[in-house]
Amino acid sequence: MPTNKQIHLASRPEGEAQAGNFRLVTAETPPLADGQVLVRHHYLSLDPYMRGRMNESKSYAQPQPVGQVFQGGTVGEVVESRNPKYAVGDKVVGFGGWQEYSVVDGNQPGMLRKVDTAHVPLSHYLGAVGMPGVTAWYGLVKIIAPKAGETLVVSAASGAVGSAFGALAKARGCRVVGIAGGPDKCKYVTDELGFDACIDYRQHPDAKSMSAALKEACPQGIDGYFENVGGYILDAVLSRLNAFARIALCGMIAGYDGQPLPLANPALLLINRVKLEGFIVSEHMEVWPEALKELGTLVAAGKLRPRESIAQGIEAAPEAFLGLLKGRNFGKQLVKLI
């Protein structure tokens, strides 16, 4: 059996996460038991939610155990099988964690899903046609529930979730405005993703300035907001909401390293009769087939062209992950192993 390089969580961060919180370990892959398959990972998914799992504190997900393989989504290929449902060469999506190989019980529901790479590249099953894409779909369709012609705003617009949100919202006839960090990301959001406008928040570093930029980009006000960031950007959006606006509260990455995220004027939620709903995509497995079908169709048709930031080799995973939390990624952050 092959040796298997792994990244473990070595310690919990105090404040900002550091490379020293991770450790590279080399292990042996054990022989397969009946029903198991050996998957060689091609890509690891790096996702902002992983930062929350590094902490001990109570959250919607269990903390990542210290001293064990760092958990996360993976795509790869079956290289050995003792399960009749999986053949050597099958391409699969799973939750194999930060390691080169995983041994999976192929009979356990939800552990492994075969995917077709004829029209959608394997890596996209971790992004636009995977968990981040479904996240965008759920917040848009089930919470914001837009009508054609409405104005929607999404923060972290160039990222894995934000880019899918844009394509899905455009397909429903909405005006879509992104918020992203820097001119290159904003150019990609408008020119390649087809958003109607994009605001570079680095040019608008406080709520007042951001609110003025939103006024210009959203002359009819904002009917729906997909929140990925938190902080002053949320304050600015609240100041431009229309009555009966809907907010899908998906993430608050500006606070993931423990930064406080005060809300300056929560009364605006009442004044505008806003519906605000937080959600966790893994609690809505019932929508995944419908969402994945639409996302796969958009990608295959070239209507959603997701961008990827690809770090090379398992050793690069911790630094790439820390970069993701600081916006150094441009699109879905992956680690390529082979």
Question: Is 317 an interacting residue with respect to ligand NDP (CB under 6 A)?
Answer: no
- Output 253 or 320, the one with its CB closest to ligand NDP: 253
Tokens 């606070």 — which residue? 255
Among 49, 70, 98, 165, binds ligand NDP (CB under 6 A): 49
Minimum CB–partner distance for residue 260 and ligand NDP (Å) = 12
Minimum CB–partner distance for residue 69 and ligand NDP (Å) = 20
Question: Is 104 an interacting residue with respect to ligand NDP (CB under 6 A)?
Answer: no
Tokens 């398959």 — which residue? 37
Among 133, 162, 224, 306, binds ligand NDP (CB under 6 A): 162
Among 168, 324, 334, 335, binds ligand NDP (CB under 6 A): 324
- Edge-to-edge strands, sheet with 197-200: 197-200, 175-180, 151-155, 222-227, 241-249, 275-278
Tell me how far apart the alpha carbons of residues 44 and 75 are, in angstroms, rounded to a whole number: 7
Assess contact for 157 and 189: CB atoms under 8 A: yes
Question: Is 156 an interacting residue with respect to ligand NDP (CB under 6 A)?
Answer: yes
Binding to ligand NDP (CB under 6 A) within 172-231 occurs at: 180-181, 185, 228-229
> What are the residue ranges of helices labelled H in 13-91?
49-53
x/- map, 268-307, ligand NDP, by CB under 6 A: -----------xxx--------------------------
Minimum CB–partner distance for residue 81 and ligand NDP (Å) = 31
x/- map, 222-261, ligand NDP, by CB under 6 A: ------xx--------------------xx-xx-------
Tell me how far apart the alpha carbons of residues 76 and 115 are, in angstroms, rounded to a whole number: 10
Question: Is 50 an interacting residue with respect to ligand NDP (CB under 6 A)?
Answer: no
Question: Is 47 an interacting residue with respect to ligand NDP (CB under 6 A)?
Answer: yes
> What are the residue ranges of helices labelled H in 59-159?
131-137
Among 135, 151, 190, 239, binds ligand NDP (CB under 6 A): 135
Binding to ligand NDP (CB under 6 A) within 6-45 occurs at: none
Residue 14 CB coordination number (10 Å): 10
Residues 6 or more apart whose Cβ sits within 8 Å of residue 216? none
Q: What are residue 205's phi and psi, to 5 degrees?
A: -85, 10
Tell me how far apart the alpha carbons of residues 156 and 296 are, in angstroms, rounded to a whole number: 21
Tell me how far apart the alpha carbons of residues 292 and 50 are, in angstroms, rounded to a whole number: 22
Three-state DSSP state, 132: helix
| Chain residues that interact with ligand NDP, rule: CB under 6 A | 47-49, 132, 135, 156, 158-162, 180-181, 185, 228-229, 250-251, 253-254, 279-281, 324, 327, 329, 332
